[in-house]
Structure 1
């Protein structure tokens, strides 16, 4: 078989092989660094459902001074990303993330780690990857949910919680002010016509859902797409981070030190980000049946903070944007559930690809809008 016809290579599986490969790669990236060595490789167990993450340190001498820095390598998942592919230039998830993170960093509106070059050569680690600096800080957990346990419950004061949520929402509001055209982000334009729209995203997700379902029925998700299509508000397109939540930020002293996980970025009204944020807020409290932590801004307060920072008005359309977020989350659950079933993590039938808490939550949101299910 010719080299270009070979299937995807399996990523190397042990820390020492990673260390050797990263050691050689880092020396190529930093030719002025004397006696560079990679060490302290840490590989959290990879699920294959999102980017594989590898932590490592590099020590070198330069101008007679020895220094050590910590880094993070993000490696392409074996089956690609979970979210719909916006354009052909977005097919490699970690390349997409590297490109948008570089652009956001250049804009200066949100904290982004220092980035080393994207590496497309699968001969290094088995799949494409990029490396960025490691940012010290805290990350709110999903399991157990940060509203149930962890530093926000055990250590934070009400003022800390208010400051943290406000900073998260204001960071999103600042992103809403970016101009995708002046930033050269036309490579994210779904139809490549220079006029991206909310309708483009609804159509993209409808096609994605049809493809991933492969003939299966998903009445609640189908109803949500129809409702979103029929009730779409008018809102100017901007840059939507796409996965805007507390757990995708790194926190120092309850201030955002880094905005992470950009694989869901799109050209879409940025109201989608505050919708996704309040959706996760509702899930993290209501769906877990836990009382709101003291100091944690309410949904209405979060929207008001975003409006003040972005200069845009959400108003009553916040319900629309929350349903838009819930639809997107439910859509990627199809692919995630199928991958988990193939891996033997969950039984194939009944499948969580369709029957899951995200679908239930989406159904409740639609019923509040008078949709019969």
Structure 2
């Protein structure tokens, strides 16, 4: 998918760690692994670092996040927030300070990691299991093949508990005003619709996307005016959590975070549940909670009434549909598929969004 100069990475990581631990000597980077599937969001860099400090030998396994060379996948929430790595590091630092959800231990952020020349931060490696996207966790993998019904329920409920913990953060008291897209201390859903409409228009570059256009109009017309604004994780799904014994050990992938009615996270969670089970024709495993059970559990864990789950699921599907425009174009640009087979518009997310809205989809999926 992309060419990796490992020497450049090793030099960059060695310098980075030396700046993080000025007392360290004899720093060595080994076991460098840059997964082939990266490059469409932040690049992930796994590595082992060995060093000596105060006469003692140390070793640690770390995970780095490197800004994509062609920019972030998600739209920036405001001025100064265009760096996905910087955004993630800032918000994860706040969540860690608040003790709101389990996170990997964070190292420092650097704006320009030389010689790679891109924003970067690293965090501790957390061992565990991660439900896969391909093949989907509803079709194969540990949840299907080895988990018990009780373990499946525990995993889902633990993830919802982590989400509820994030939503309990008082964003003003936590100093998250820098994430406010309104600029006046009063973020609303209308701000998010403005951001996402602008993003969709930029990515489409005058191409027609009837389903996405109708979804944005519907969302504006049916905005519930929910004033329960809080920190949204943004990409809230079980595949963005590392699990240990079917409990959330580390919540990952914060590049879509925002200040928005927090029910948006539940809508994204439910959207991925629908796409992973219903849209793929996968039976719900024994013990895996139903959508209604997930809503009820989230209400109990968060203390918040779920008022408009359909609206927030449509909002989630609209966001995913807009993101897929950028994703499809990146696949073509990377040479993974020809331009005539670009799935930026005709894809399964567009089909799912049309079904949620009950409208015709004139662009059937080519995937």
TM-score bin, normalised by smaller chain: over 0.9
Classify the secondary structure of the residue corresponding to 1:88: coil
The alignment's C-alpha RMSD in Å is: 1.5
Select the residue among 189, 210, 221 that pairs with 1:230. 221
The answer as to whether partners of 1:15 and 1:43 remain within 8 angstroms in 2 is no
Superposed CA deviations along residues 272-300 of structure 1, whole A, max 9, x for unmatched, are: 00100011001111111011011100000
> C-alpha displacement at 1:63, in angstroms?
3.7
Classify the secondary structure of the residue corresponding to 2:80: helix
Choose 243-252 or 40-49, whichever is displaced more. Answer: 40-49
In structure 1, the gaps of 5 or more residues are 1-10
> C-alpha displacement at 1:47, in angstroms?
4.6
Which residue of structure 2 aligns with residue 7 of structure 1?
none
The answer as to whether partners of 2:84 and 2:255 remain within 8 angstroms in 1 is yes
**Equivalent runs, 1:259-274 vs 2, <5 Å:** 259-274=251-266
Q: In 1, distance between residues paired with 2:202 and 2:24?
A: 48
Which residue of structure 1 aligns with residue 175 of structure 2?
184
Which residue of structure 1 aligns with residue 28 of structure 2?
37
**Equivalent runs, 1:20-31 vs 2, <5 Å:** 20-31=11-22
Q: In 1, distance between residues paired with 2:10 and 2:342?
A: 38
The answer as to whether partners of 2:216 and 2:318 remain within 8 angstroms in 1 is yes
Q: In 2, distance between residues paired with 1:101 and 1:252?
A: 20
> C-alpha displacement at 1:247, in angstroms?
0.5
Tell me: CA distance 1:12–1:36, structure 2 relative to 1, closer, same or farther (3 Å). farther
Which residue of structure 2 aligns with residue 147 of structure 1?
138
Q: In 1, distance between residues paired with 2:80 and 2:302?
A: 28
Which residue of structure 2 aligns with residue 125 of structure 1?
116
**Equivalent runs, 1:159-174 vs 2, <5 Å:** 159-174=150-165
Q: In 1, distance between residues paired with 2:113 and 2:209?
A: 37
Q: Which TM-score applies when normalising by structure 2?
A: 0.94
Choose 18-27 or 269-278, whichever is displaced more. Answer: 18-27
Classify the secondary structure of the residue corresponding to 2:354: helix
The answer as to whether partners of 1:113 and 1:258 remain within 8 angstroms in 2 is yes
Q: In 1, distance between residues paired with 2:252 and 2:324?
A: 20
Select the residue among 161, 166, 181 that pairs with 1:175. 166
Q: In 2, distance between residues paired with 1:250 and 1:238?
A: 23
Q: In 2, distance between residues paired with 1:372 and 1:336?
A: 23
Q: In 2, distance between residues paired with 1:286 and 1:46?
A: 26
Which residue of structure 2 aligns with residue 113 of structure 1?
104
The answer as to whether partners of 2:354 and 2:360 remain within 8 angstroms in 1 is no
The answer as to whether partners of 1:170 and 1:309 remain within 8 angstroms in 2 is yes
Which residue of structure 1 aligns with residue 303 of structure 2?
311
> C-alpha displacement at 1:256, in angstroms?
0.6
Tell me: CA distance 1:43–1:350, structure 2 relative to 1, closer, same or farther (3 Å). closer
Which residue of structure 2 aligns with residue 94 of structure 1?
85
Is 1:321 equivalent to 2:304 in the alignment? no
Number of aligned residues: 359
Which residue of structure 1 aligns with residue 9 of structure 2?
18
